[in-house]
C-alpha cells in the first residue's frame, strides 16, 4: 500500500533568501510521470548546490526539491517498462532542476528517464557514482574513441571534485598515466591514493601555459573547470590529442586562438550528461558496474542524511568539497 505522505528537503524563497528544511509532503504533490520510485539514496553535485541556493539558471521557481540523482525501488510504473520492486537509477534530464528531485523519499518521473540498476552495483554505489560518475565515464569514453594508454599522459582538472576524483581513479584503473590538477596543495596525498601519478598546482599550470601554443604534454584532458585552466590545457595538448570539457566553475568564457586546433589537430569535445542518449547511458552504467568501477569508490565518498545537507552544500559552494557525497534518504 502506497503512503499518502513522505518527507523531502524543500528549498523556499523567503524575503530574497533561500531556506532549506525537511517538510512532510503529499504524494499527490509530485509531478506527473509514469514511474513512481521509493528513493533509497541520492548524491550531492555542484548543480544541486546551485539549485539549493536559489540559482535561477538551474531552477526557475520555488518551493523546490533539489537532487539531480536518485536510486531506489519501483513502486509502480504505468508504462509497463519496469516491474514493481525493481531497482532503478534516475539521473539528470530535468530531475532536481525544475522537476522535484532526489532529496525526497519518493519521486515521480517519466519511465524513460530510468535505468535498471546493473549487476555489480548496489543502490548506494550507484549514487556514489551518480551524475558525476556518468560525466566522468562519458569523458573517458570520448577519450577512448581516439586514445589508448600508450598515447601518453592524461590531465584531469578540478581533480578533487566529484567528477575529477572519479575520473582520476577510473583512468588509472584503465592503465592511463594521470596528472591531477588542483588548487588544494593539501590534497596531493588524496589524489595519489586515487591513482594520480603526479599532481600540479593550477596557478603555476596556467602561468606556464599562457601562450597560444605551449609545450605539448597531454594526450588527453578531462576538464571540470573551464576558463583559463581549460585554455591552458588545450594549449599544452599534444598533436591529435582530445580534450573533454563539462564544467565552468572557473569561467564560462574561453579565450584562446585556433592554433591548437588547426596546427595540432586537437579535438575539443563537450560533455553533456544531462541529455546523454539512453543507449550510451546504459552502456556507460554497465561499464561502471564492471571494468570501469572505481577501486576507491567507498574511500572517496562520505555519507550525509537530508538534515545534514545544508552544511555540506555551504562547504561545496565555498570550494571546500572533496570527493563524493552520498545522500541517504530512506
Distance CA 309, CA 76 (A): 28
pLDDT band, residue 1 (cuts 50/70/90): low
pLDDT of residue 138: 98
pTM, rounded to two decimals: 0.95
Please report the domains of the chain, with CATH numbers, ordered by start residue: 5-117+300-328 (3.90.180.10), 132-273 (3.40.50.720)
Looking at the chain, how many residues does it have? 330
Are 114 and 37 contacting, i.e. CB atoms less than 8 angstroms apart? yes
Shortest CA distance to 246 belongs to which of 140, 321, 87, 153?
A: 140
Tell me the pLDDT tens digit for each residue of 124-165: 999 999 999 999 999 999 999 999 999 999 999 999 999 999
Average pLDDT in the 56-77 region? 96
Sequence-distant (6+) residues with CB within 8 A of 58 are: 47, 50, 51, 97
> Could you identify the residue written with the cell 579565450?
255
Shortest CA distance to 6 belongs to which of 76, 77, 106?
A: 106
Distance CA 66, CA 254 (A): 29
Q: In 3-state terms, what secondary structure has residue 167? A: helix
pLDDT of residue 66: 97
Q: In 3-state terms, what secondary structure has residue 312? A: helix
pLDDT band, residue 320 (cuts 50/70/90): confident
Amino acid at each position: 500500500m502506497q503512503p499518502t505522505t513522505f518527507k523531502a528537503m524543500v528549498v523556499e524563497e523567503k524575503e530574497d533568501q533561500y531556506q532549506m528544511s525537511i517538510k512532510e509532503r503529499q504524494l499527490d504533490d509530485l509531478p506527473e510521470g509514469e514511474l513512481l520510485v521509493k528513493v533509497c539514496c541520492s548524491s550531492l553535485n555542484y548543480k544541486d548546490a546551485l539549485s539549493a541556493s536559489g540559482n535561477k539558471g538551474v531552477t526557475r521557481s520555488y518551493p523546490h526539491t533539489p537532487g539531480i540523482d536518485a536510486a531506489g525501488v519501483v513502486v509502480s510504473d504505468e508504462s509497463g517498462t519496469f516491474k514493481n520492486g525493481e531497482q532503478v537509477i534516475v539521473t539528470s534530464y530535468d530531475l532536481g532542476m525544475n522537476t522535484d528531485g532526489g532529496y525526497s523519499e519518493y519521486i515521480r518521473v517519466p519511465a524513460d528517464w530510468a535505468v535498471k540498476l546493473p549487476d555489480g552495483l548496489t543502490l548506494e554505489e550507484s549514487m556514489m557514482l551518480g551524475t558525476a560518475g556518468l560525466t566522468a565515464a562519458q569523458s573517458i569514453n570520448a577519450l577512448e574513441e581516439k586514445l589508448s594508454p600508450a598515447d601518453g599522459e592524461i590531465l584531469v582538472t578540478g581533480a578533487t571534485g566529484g567528477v575529477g576524483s572519479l575520473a582520476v581513479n577510473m583512468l588509472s584503473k584503465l592503465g592511463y598515466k594521470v596528472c591531477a590538477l588542483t588548487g588544494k596543495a593539501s590534497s596531493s596525498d588524496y589524489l595519489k591514493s586515487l591513482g594520480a601519478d603526479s599532481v600540479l598546482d593550477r596557478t603555476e599550470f596556467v602561468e606556464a601555459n599562457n601562450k597560444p601554443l605551449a609545450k605539448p604534454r597531454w594526450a588527453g584532458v578531462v576538464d571540470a573547470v573551464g576558463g583559463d585552466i581549460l585554455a591552458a590545457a588545450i594549449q599544452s595538448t599534444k598533436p591529435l590529442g582530445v580534450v573533454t570539457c563539462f564544467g565552468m566553475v572557473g569561467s564560462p568564457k574561453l579565450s584562446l586562438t585556433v592554433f591548437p586546433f588547426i596546427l595540432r589537430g586537437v579535438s575539443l569535445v563537450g560533455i553533456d550528461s544531462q541529455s546523454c542518449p539512453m543507449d550510451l547511458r546504459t552502456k556507460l552504467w554497465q561499464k561502471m558496474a564492471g571494468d570501469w568501477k572505481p577501486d576507491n569508490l567507498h574511500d572517496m565518498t562520505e555519507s550525509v542524511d537530508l538534515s545534514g545537507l545544508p552544511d555540506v552544500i555551504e562547504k561545496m559552494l565555498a570550494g571546500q568539497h572533496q570527493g563524493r557525497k552520498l545522500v541517504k534518504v530512506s
